[in-house]
Amino acid sequence: MRLRFRDFTTLAVITGALVSRTQAQCPDYTTYSQVPHDPRSTGPLALPYMRPAPACRTFNSTAKVISDMKSLLKDPDLARLFENTFPNTLDTTVKYYSESENLAFIITGDITAQWLRDTANQFAHYHSLLSVDPKLATLVKAVINNEARYVAQYPYCGSFQPPPESGLAPSVNDWAVGVTVNPPVNNQTVFECKYEIDSLCGFLKLSRSYYNATKDASFMNSNWRAAIDQIFRVINEQSQGTFDENFNFVSYYNWTGGGGSLSPMVNNDGNGEPKAYTGLVGTHHRPSDDLSIFAFLTPANAMLSVELTNLAQILDHAGQLRNVSQQAKEWSSKIESAIWKTTVVDNIFAYETNGLGSRYVMDDANVPSLISLPYLGFLEKTHPAYVATRKLLLSRNNPYYAAGKTFNGIGGPHVDPWNPWPMSHISAIFGTDNDQEILQSLYTIANNTDGLGLIHESQSIYNSSSYTRSWFAWANSYFAEMILDLADRKPGLILKQNKSYKPGK
């Protein structure tokens, strides 16, 4: 996701009826995050302290991960980055929460809307805390229930308005005005209805992480079961070929309109490029919210395969919905074998395919991406196909790789080819055990925050003070998740002592 820096002001239109009196006096974090605040870290980067004042934080966790990590990390600049990024989701994005209603509305950052994909990732680094911080677990359960209602009603959409119970006004999405979606949606509930299969994977990931940490199956309520049914409906519909055997045109979802929307018009009456059945599930837009070139997005299918296996596991463990578990297992293995059979040539994964022989070899920084395949749990980082594909993706052979004097990485057409995303380096770190590569990526990120100590969406390779999105909660969470992974997997590299640290233990 999704916005260009210059667009911030047009979207900052949101009013929150339930914002408390104290919070009403809090500075807007979009503005706050564009200016460095003291005190500075004591390392060479002298990074600012970017947490909002305690009274302005939107949720307080009791877990003591931040103080633990501050005393364990060798480099005070990395410690400051961790201190700023780890709590960013709880500090700034819990726009509405009611424990009694079992509803929570989590914004992406600088846009007052909840993306299914972003939310799952915004909370990914808190998973291990859910067993030690029951209040945090209850918040996550409320997030899942709110999302279950969205997915049950609008499984093709990825971004949503506040629940009516919140009293928060829906925000007008300039880019959705003039867009027609079939099946139609109500803009009081839906912020944007681009169909991206990984959004549904995000919902599944949040659900299984909650269950894995708490073993509490109470979130599997009627909303959740209805959402799961809708996910299988989408899988069934979007795996079909564009033409049936008699050349009837098959369309369950289409997105038309142009003027003002961020993505270009979708050709073929809003259906995109034709595809043939392979066992993969098609998508319409990418995790960046940009239009797909070909419908079968390999990394999103990889994530879907992994999350369907996880879904089957939690259902079996909880003794629920055997029919769904069975279908989940069948689809998971069908998708996995289709990935190996139809997307890999000479050990190189294509980013997108159409089932008719066409492939697009590239990567886009937004997760799920090809470079994040190990992070997604699809394969081992030592798998020869990953090693070969990774090498290609971090070279000129990937059209969206770019390198300048101080910054480099993988970007995407969402911003432009000369603005790689720090997120691509985070994914790259998850995908290697090589200490030099890890440190190189880690300090490429740390050196390129424009002195602001937060993780941005993209960064120009030509100008170190030109970046997009000062407040991008997912990128902050992903960075903190990666630091925690290193503290466990490679402690000697970043901690004072070569001893694994696991939060919540």
Please name which of 270, 223, 232 lies closest in space to residue 251, comparing C-alpha atoms.
270
Q: In what order do the strands lie in the sheet with 190-192?
A: 114-115, 159-160, 190-192
465 binds ligand NAG (CB under 6 A): yes
- Report which of 298, 493, 481, 489 is spatially closest to residue 393, judged by C-alpha positions: 298
Question: Which one of 393-401, 413-421, 459-467, 477-485 is the stretch in contact with ligand NAG (CB under 6 A)?
Answer: 459-467
Q: Which of residues 190-209 bind ligand NAG (CB under 6 A)?
A: 208-209
Of 85, 159, 310, 353, which lies in the binding site for ligand NAG, with binding defined by CB under 6 A? 310
Burial 68-104 (b: 16+ CB within 10 A, else e): ebeebbebbbbbbbbbbbbbbbbbbbbbbbeeeebbb
Which window, 11-19, 146-154, 246-254, 422-430, contacts ligand NAG (CB under 6 A)? Answer: 246-254
Is 277 an interacting residue with respect to ligand NAG (CB under 6 A)? no
Cα 360 → chain centroid: 22
Number of residues in the chain:
505
255 - beta bridge partners? 181
Nearest to 157 by CA among 174, 176, 178: 176
The pair of three-digit structure tokens given for residue 170, joined into one six-digit string: 């829906």
Residues 311 to 370 in contact with ligand NAG, rule: CB under 6 A:
321, 323-324, 327
Q: Minimum distance from CB of 307 to ligand NAG (Å)?
A: 9
Q: Enumerate residues 6+ apart whose C-beta is below 8 A from 351.
A: 297, 298, 299, 360, 361, 362, 363, 364, 370
296-297 and 352-353 as β-strands: parallel, antiparallel, unpaired? antiparallel
Q: Does 172 bind ligand NAG (CB under 6 A)?
A: yes
Q: Please state the closest distance from residue 88 (CB atom) to ligand NAG, in A.
A: 15
* Residue 500 CB contacts under 8 Å (≥ 6 apart), including other chains: 487, 488, 489, 491
The binding track of 383-422 with respect to ligand NAG, each residue x by CB under 6 A or -, is: ----------------------------------------
Q: Report, in Å, the least distance between residue 358 CB and ligand NAG.
A: 21
Near ligand NAG by CB under 6 A: residue from 6, 21, 38, 54: 54
Number of residues forming the site for ligand NAG (CB under 6 A): 41
With CB under 6 A as the contact rule, which of the stretches 250-258, 295-303, 336-344, 383-391 interacts with ligand NAG? 250-258
In the complex, minimum distance from the CB of residue 368 to ligand NAG, in angstroms, rounded to a whole number: 16
Which one of 330, 380, 492, 497 is in contact with ligand NAG (CB under 6 A)? Answer: 492
Token pair for residue 452?
Answer: 């602001």
Task: Pick the closer one to ligand NAG by CB: 246 or 465.
Answer: 465
Residue 362, classed as helix, strand or coil, is: coil
Examine residue 170 and tell whether it contacts ligand NAG (CB under 6 A): yes
Could you tell me whether strands 114-115 and 159-160 are parallel, antiparallel, or unpaired per DSSP bridges?
A: antiparallel
* Per-residue burial over 265-299, b = 16 or more CB atoms within 10 Å of its CB, e = otherwise: ebeeebbbbbbbebbbbbbbbbbbbbbbbbbbbbb
Among the listed residues 299, 389, 282, the one whose alpha carbon sits nearest the alpha carbon of residue 336: 299
Decide if residue 229 touches ligand NAG (CB under 6 A): yes
State the nearest-atom distance from the C-beta of 355 to ligand NAG, in Å.
19
Is there a contact between 335 and 341 (Cβ–Cβ < 8 Å)? no
**Interacting residue with ligand NAG among 34, 138, 333, 447 (CB under 6 A):** 447
58 binds ligand NAG (CB under 6 A): yes
Show the binding pattern over residues 113-152: x = contacts ligand NAG (CB under 6 A), - = does not.
---------------x------------------------
Residue 440 sits in the site that holds ligand NAG (CB under 6 A): yes
* 498 is an interface residue for ligand NAG by CB under 6 A: yes
35 binds ligand NAG (CB under 6 A): no
Based on the shown chain and the rule CB under 6 A, indicate whether residue 182 belongs to the binding site for ligand NAG: yes
- Residue 401's H or E segment, with its range, is strand 401-403
* Choices 64-72, 279-287, 384-392, 438-446; region in contact with ligand NAG by CB under 6 A: 438-446
User: If you compute the radius of gyration of the chain from its CA atoms, what whole number of angstroms results?
Assistant: 21
Residue of 34, 98, 153, 212 interacting with ligand NAG (CB under 6 A): 212
d(CA 195, CA 109): 21
Q: Of 84 and 271, which CB lies nearer to ligand NAG in the complex structure?
A: 271
- Please list the helix, strand and coil fractions of the chain in percent, rounded to the nearest 5, in that order: 45, 10, 45
Can you give the binding site for ligand NAG, defined by CB under 6 A? 44, 54-55, 57-60, 128, 170, 172-173, 177, 182-183, 187, 208-209, 212, 229, 232, 251-254, 269, 271, 310, 321, 323-324, 327, 440, 443-444, 447, 463, 465-466, 492-493, 498
